[in-house]
Structures are given as structure tokens and as C-alpha cells.
């Protein structure tokens, strides 16, 4: 399972009401998830990912010390700060860009398994004590964020 974490002061995700997947000039959107200080977690289930990968990633995200302590050192986690996580599915993290100019996404889990693992990850993160907001799986989304730092961390459970 892959995740790209961005420390944020705020983030929100909006989804087209009609969710045609085709951007329009004036889409009718509604917010589906928003957080204040915390982490925007872009997550991708990969072919072969297991429930164990999901649990491992959720534990690491909840415990990752990327927030400042009283001395300005990155020494506090989401659990320590009470910050939230906005979790957004993003199959494009599976992109293989090495050949040609159009990336391939065949390494991503199929949509049914991807949705199951995404939901399982959100639930596992909640069980870790993190308030979780979500996007809408497989929808065309607009994500807005205010990056804090910036602090951006790449995680891949296959690199343990």
C-alpha cells in the first residue's frame, strides 16, 4: 500500500454532485470531507496488498512524529496533537512512468479490492484514535490544502 502524507493546517475535498468524471467549467460541488491541522493522506492500494499492509500503514501514519513539540522539533504524532486525517484514494500513486509518456496504472489494485482496502485503512486509522474524514472512492475530486512546512512524506508498505 502506498501513501503520500502532507502535513496541513487545513484541507478539504469536494466532489462533483453528478460525478461524471469529466471536469466542467462550472461544476456543482459539495464538500465531503475537511480537517483543520493534521495530515492529508493520499492512499493507493496496490495489487497484492493485504489486510496486514493496511494495519501496518495505519499504525505508522497515526504514530509518525511530524508535528512540532514545544521546542519546535518534529516530535509529536497525530495521536499526540489530536489532529485529523483527510484520507483520499489516489490510484495514480501506482503510476509507472518509465516507458513512453502516458503512465500505466496496472500495479494498482482492481477497483473492488481497492475500495475494500481503502475503507479498511480508514477504519484502521480511526481505531488508532485518529479523527478521519474521507473523499469519495473513484470520484473526480478537488482537493484543497494549506501545506504546513511543507512536510511531505512518501510511504510504501513494501519498503518496510
Q: Which residues are the active-site residues?
A: 90-92
Beta strands in 1-101 (DSSP E): 2-16, 29-35, 38-44, 67-68, 74-76, 84-89
Integer Cα distance of 108 and 37 in angstroms: 29
> Residue 38 region, left (φ>0) first, then alpha (ψ -120 to 50), else beta?
left
The residue behind cell 513512453 is: 100
Amino acid at each position: 500500500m502506498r501513501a503520500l502524507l502532507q502535513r496541513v493546517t487545513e484541507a478539504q475535498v469536494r466532489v462533483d454532485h453528478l460525478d461524471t468524471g469529466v471536469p466542467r467549467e462550472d461544476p456543482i460541488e459539495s464538500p465531503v470531507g475537511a480537517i483543520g491541522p493534521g495530515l492529508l493522506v493520499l492512499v493507493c492500494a496496490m495489487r497484492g496488498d493485504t489486510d496486514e499492509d493496511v494495519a501496518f500503514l495505519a499504525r505508522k501514519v497515526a504514530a509518525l512524529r511530524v508535528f512540532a513539540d514545544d521546542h519546535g522539533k518534529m516530535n509529536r504524532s497525530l495521536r499526540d496533537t489530536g489532529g485529523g486525517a483527510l484520507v483520499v484514494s489516489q490510484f495514480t500513486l501506482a503510476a509507472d512512468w518509465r516507458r513512453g509518456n502516458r503512465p500505466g496504472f496496472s500495479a494498482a489494485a482492481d477497483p473492488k479490492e481497492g475500495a475494500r482496502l481503502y475503507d479498511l485503512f480508514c477504519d484502521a486509522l480511526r481505531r488508532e484514535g485518529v479523527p478521519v474524514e474521507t473523499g469519495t472512492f473513484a470520484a473526480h475530486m478537488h482537493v484543497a490544502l494549506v501545506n504546513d512546512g511543507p512536510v511531505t512524506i512518501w510511504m510504501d508498505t513494501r519498503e518496510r
